[in-house]
Structures are given as C-alpha cells and as structure tokens.
Amino acid sequence: MLVEIGHAEFDVEGIVRLRNHGVDPDVIVALDDARYADVSVREIVEVQTHGIAPSYVSGMFDAGLADLTVSELIALRTHGLSPDYVRLILEAAGRDCATDELIRLGTHGEERRHEAA
C-alpha cells in the first residue's frame, strides 16, 4: 500500500510502526496532498495518535494554512480549532494569523462567538 501512495522510502521498522499504530493510509495521502513533504514516520504516527482525520488535514490546507508544520497542525487540533473557524478568522482578519494567535483566540472563547455569527 505504501508503494502505491508513493512512500516506498519507509524502512521495515517504519512500516511496522505505522501498522502498529493503526495509521490510516488516507492520512498519509492527505498529508502529501497538503504539501507536507518529507514527513517522518514519527510525525505520521503523531497525527494518527491525535485523531487527526484526513479531512482535517485537507480542511486546514483549504482554509489557507498551507505552511503549517505537523506540530502546528496537532496544536490546532488539540485546542479544538476547526478548519471552518480558521477560515472565518482569516477572512475576518483580512490577513494571515500565526498559529499561536489562532489558538489564543480559540482558547479565549472567540471560536464560539464566530461560529454563532
């Protein structure tokens, strides 16, 4: 399966680790589609462990966060920020916002205020 989705570079240990953590191949495809080049097995496992669905990865990319690191993606998910919320904030701000700024807005209740609007 990994060869079919363009990841023949993973060694046997990495493949076993991905399998042991139940990594969904669609997560790997979503990371590739969102331009996460050179993502490591460790990072893929972290994405899976944090319950990040392929739709979340693609949603954040589509919302305008094309340059996120895997750590930033995980932080946004951990703090409960949805792609729709991020899109609303970026549109309202009329500019890019740093990941920590988005998280700060979300943790202070701004997310609920914008979703209710």
Single out the residue of 46, 70, 27, 69 nearest to residue 7, CA to CA.
27
The angle, 0 to 180 degrees and rounded to 10, between the axes of the packed helices 99-107 and 70-78 is: 10
Of residues 47 and 4, the one with the higher pLDDT is 47
Residue owning tokens 């951990």: 78
Residues in the chain: 117
Q: Which two tokens stand for residue 26?
A: 């669609």
Residue 3 lies in a domain: no
**Token pair for 47:** 């994405």
42-59: pLDDT as tens digits: 999 999 999 998 899 999
Question: How far, in Å, CA of 11 to CA of 33, rounded?
Answer: 22
Burial degree of 6 (CB within 10 A; 0-12, 13-18, 19+):
exposed
Q: What is the pLDDT of residues 63-116, one digit of tens each?
A: 988 888 999 999 999 999 999 989 988 888 777 889 998 888 777 755 444 444
pLDDT of residue 70: 92
In a domain, 2, yes or no: no
Count Cα neighbours of 109 within 13 Å in the Cβ-side half-sphere: 1
In a domain, 4, yes or no: no
Question: What stretch of H or E contains 95?
Answer: none
Residue 86 is part of which domain span?
A: 12-116
User: Per residue in 11-38, pLDDT tens?
Assistant: 788 888 888 998 888 888 888 888 776 7
Contact (CB, 8 A) for 100 and 79: no
Structurally, the chain folds into a number of domains equal to: 1
